[in-house]
Amino acid sequence: MAQKTALFDIHQQTGGRMVEFAGWHLPLHFGSQLEEHRAVRRDAGMFDVSHMTVIDLVGGEAEAFLRRLLANDIDRLRRPGQALYTCMLNESGGVLDDLIVYKWEAGRFRIIANAATRGKDLAWIDRQAGRCEVVLTPRADVAIIAVQGPSALRKAHACFDAGLRRAVSELGVFEGILRDDWQVSRTGYTGEEGYEIVLPKESAGPLWRALLDAGVQPCGLGSRDTLRLEAGMCLYGADMDETVSPLEAGLSRTVAWEPETRRFIGREALEAQRARGGLCRFVGLILEDRGVLRAHQRVIVPGVGEGETTSGGFSPILNCGIAFARLPAGNFTRCQVEIRGQLKEAAVTAPRFVRHGRPLMAIASLAH
């Protein structure tokens, strides 16, 4: 049976169309997915992301454990409050999950991971911890609200007390703070400014209503997906999974190769894959013909080979179809996508389309 977030009743009262997703009841939209998308790009929108998995890790060996568990190196977290995006790999180099890890102080960390992988993640982390001096605490007592958009910071500040407002005003990108039992951070999933607020379940309703009163648009899963696609953010289970390494999912930046002495899980498999060469290209596609791009569509690169789309949809900002795709190695800028038995022309770009509400310069000319 699907679980309800702390905001379930409010969503129903305010017109949320509820669906089941990753074992949770969540809003798909609140009337218009397109309006919600545009609100985030032009003003401010908010998402109930309480389904995400929150795990606290505490212990004298927590840091050493995470340096082995994760492909990115938490030694890059130089001061309290910094966050790091990384993948957690299996021994074959496949992506078990992508996640964000926060360092609060020596021996104290927090992981925020995906909802659909919760059981698998907890079992894997617990098994890898073994007899390490580290205590894992899944946080089922919290909710998460993400506020995103060019007006998000200002409108969120209106809902914070003076002390919290002062504290968060100094946050940089990929930084967070803990204040009492609230976490406020700036990592984002839309390509816009904003906050992610982890807070006690009983505080979620009052904050959501305060944000509503401040003029923040409630948003659902539909716009969250189109926003992250425009922003070039990968989705676990679509763009990567246990059979795909970060090197073929556009996530090479999340692998810290130095120092060579750090033997993280999956390193040997990635080193062998890199040495073999011929890795697939993870790219963005802009559809130049009429049609709808979706996942698992056949992509043909004339004279090179074939691949497939991994995520796809319509971009309200570019006013055309966009997608991510895994294609053969090679230096090419065009391809064809098979849509309902017809080959449609597409441009091959970097897998990132929009930043801060605007098309990126590298693709602006292609979109028009």
Give bridge partners of residue 4 from the DSSP assignment. 25
Given 138, 166, 199, which residue is the final one in a domain?
138
Q: In the predicted model, is pLDDT for residue 364 greater than 60?
A: no
Domain count, the chain: 3
Closest listed residue to residue 17, CA positions, set 25, 27, 6, 8: 27
Given this model, what pLDDT does residue 23 score? 96
Flag whether pLDDT at 156 surpasses 60: yes
Do 93 and 144 share a domain, yes or no? no
CATH of the domain at 77: 3.30.70.1400
Count of C-beta atoms within a 10 Å radius of residue 347: 18
Q: Please check whether residues 11 and 119 belong to one and the same domain.
A: no
pLDDT at 363 over 80: no
Examine residue 133 and state whether it is found in any structural domain, yes or no. yes
The verdict on residue 334 lying in a domain is yes
Q: Are residues 42 and 168 in the same domain?
A: yes
- Would the pLDDT of 365 be above 50? no
User: Each residue of 236-286: pLDDT tens digit?
Assistant: 999 999 999 999 999 999 999 999 999 999 999 999 999 999 999 999 999
Q: H or E element: which one contains 216? A: none
Secondary structure of residue 249 in the 3-state scheme: coil
Q: What is the CATH number of the domain that holds 35?
A: 3.30.1360.120
State how far the Cα of 233 lies from the Cα of 214, in Å rounded to an integer. 28
My answer on whether 40 and 166 are in the same domain is yes
pLDDT average, residue stretch 138-163: 98
Same domain, 58 and 134: yes
Assess if residue 241 is contained within a domain: no
Which pLDDT value is given to residue 1? 85
Does residue 191 share a domain with residue 43?
yes
The answer, as to whether pTM is greater than 0.85, is yes
Answer whether residue 294 shows pLDDT above 70.
yes
Cis before 351? omega within 30:
no
Residues 310 and 326 in one domain: yes
Inside any domain, residue 257: no
Query: Residue 115, Cβ neighbours under 10 Å: how many?
Result: 18
Please check whether residue 230 lies inside any domain of the structure.
Answer: no
Examine the domain organization and report whether 144 and 82 are in the same domain: no
Q: Rounded to 5 degrees, what are φ and ψ at 40? A: -70, -40
Position 269 in a domain:
no
| Same domain? 45 vs 194 | yes
CATH number at residue 284: 2.40.30.110
- Choose the final residue of a domain: 138, 172, 201: 138
Convert the pLDDT of each residue in 16-43 to its tens digit.
999 999 999 999 999 999 999 999 999 9
Last residue of a domain, one of 122, 138, 154: 138
Predicted confidence (pLDDT) per residue in 38-73, tens digit: 999 999 999 999 999 999 999 999 999 999 999 999
- Does the pLDDT at position 292 exceed 70? yes
Helix residue ranges, H only, the chain: 8-13, 33-42, 62-69, 118-129, 152-157, 162-168, 201-213, 221-231, 267-276, 361-367
Which of 118, 108, 267, 282 is closest to 183 using CA atoms?
108
Are residue 26 and residue 153 in the same domain, yes or no? yes
Q: Say if residue 93 is in the same domain as residue 153.
A: no
174 lies in the same domain as 202 = yes
Q: Tokens at residue 237, please?
A: 């289970």
Domain-located, residue 322: yes
pLDDT digits (tens, 9 = 90+) for 214-232: 999 999 999 999 999 999 9
pLDDT for residue 2 is more than 60: yes
- Region 142-159: what's the mean pLDDT? 98
pLDDT at 367 over 50: no
* Domain span at 310: 280-367
- Domain membership flag for residue 273: no
